[in-house]
Amino acid sequence: MSAALAPACSTAPLAGTAWQSPGAQASVLHAPLLQSIGVRHGFTTREGGVSSGRFASLNLGRSWGDDPANVDRNLGRVAQVSGFATERLTQVRQVHGCRVVRMDSPAQAQREADGMVTAHDLVLGVLSADCVSLLLADGEGRVAAAHAGWRGTTLGIATEAVAALATLGADVQRIRAVLGPSIGPCCFEVQQDVASVFAAHDPQVVSHRAGRTFVDLWSYNEKLLMRAGLLPEHIAAQPPCTRCDAQRFYSFRRDGANIGQHLAFIIGGSP
C-alpha cells in the first residue's frame, strides 16, 4: 500500500471550469465536459428544496423517511430548472452491485441494478449521498448513468457501463464520463478489510494519514474508465467532496442515515 498522505479537500469546487451552476441557481450543477458535446444532465445539491430537518432541503430520495409530497415537489423544481418532464425519469433499485440494464421506456425502481443505458429520450437518474455517480455519453444520444459505491466500484460498474454503451453502438473513444459529487480521497476512511480489497487490485488508491487509512474512489473509477478505452481527456474525475461541504451536499459518512439524497441525471435521445 502507498504511504502517501491523502490529499486535502477543496471546499470551493465551483472555482475554475470544472463545475458550473446555471445562473444563480444553486440546486443543479453541470459538468462542462458533457455540456461541450450538448448533453443535457445535472447533479443536484441539497439547496433549493422544500424538505426540512435532516432532509433539508432538496432531497430526491424516497427510502429514508422524508414526506413523499416534499420529494415530489423537489423533483418538480429540478425538472423545471433542467427542462425535462418528471414522467420521463427512469431509475432502478440500487443494490451496490455492477449490473447495468438497457432502458427503452420510463420505469421507477422496478429492476435491481446500479446502472442504466439508453438511446431513447429518457432521463436516467441515480441517487447518492457519498457514493460516486457516473454519467456517460457519446454525444450522439447514447447515455449511461451508474451508482458506484465502494462495492460497485471494485466490481467494475464503470467498465460495465462503458461496455453497455458499446452494445448500443457507441464508439468508446468518443464517450465522455463525469464523476459526480461524492466522498473524496480526503475523507473516505476505511478499515483494513475494505482497504485490502482495493489494494489487491490497485495499491496506489490506498493511502495513510495519521494512522488512518483512506481509499481514492475517484482515481480507481478513472482508471477503470481508461482501461475500458476512454481517452484521459474525456474523463472528469475531480468532483466536489460531499463530506467536506455540509452546506451544499448530503453525506452519509458525515451525518449518518435518514438524510437526503442527490440525483444525478442524464438525458438520452437525439442531441
The pLDDT score that the predictor gives to residue 6 is 41
Burial of 96 (0-12, 13-18, 19+ CB in 10 A): middle
The pLDDT score that the predictor gives to residue 229 is 98
In tens digits, the chain (271 residues) has pLDDT values of 333 344 445 443 333 235 666 554 589 999 999 999 999 999 999 999 999 999 999 999 999 999 999 999 999 999 999 999 999 999 999 999 999 999 999 998 899 999 999 999 999 999 999 999 999 999 999 999 999 999 999 999 999 999 999 999 999 999 999 999 999 999 999 999 999 999 999 999 999 999 999 999 999 999 999 999 999 999 999 999 999 999 999 999 999 999 999 999 999 997 6
The pLDDT score that the predictor gives to residue 65 is 94
Sorted by where each begins, the domain ranges of the chain are 28-266
Topology (CATH) of 28-266? CNF1/YfiH-like putative cysteine hydrolases (3.60.140)
Strand partners, 215: 206
Which residue type, as a one-letter code, is found at position 226? Answer: M
Those residues with Cβ within 8 angstroms of residue 166's Cβ, 6 or more apart along the chain or in another chain: 172
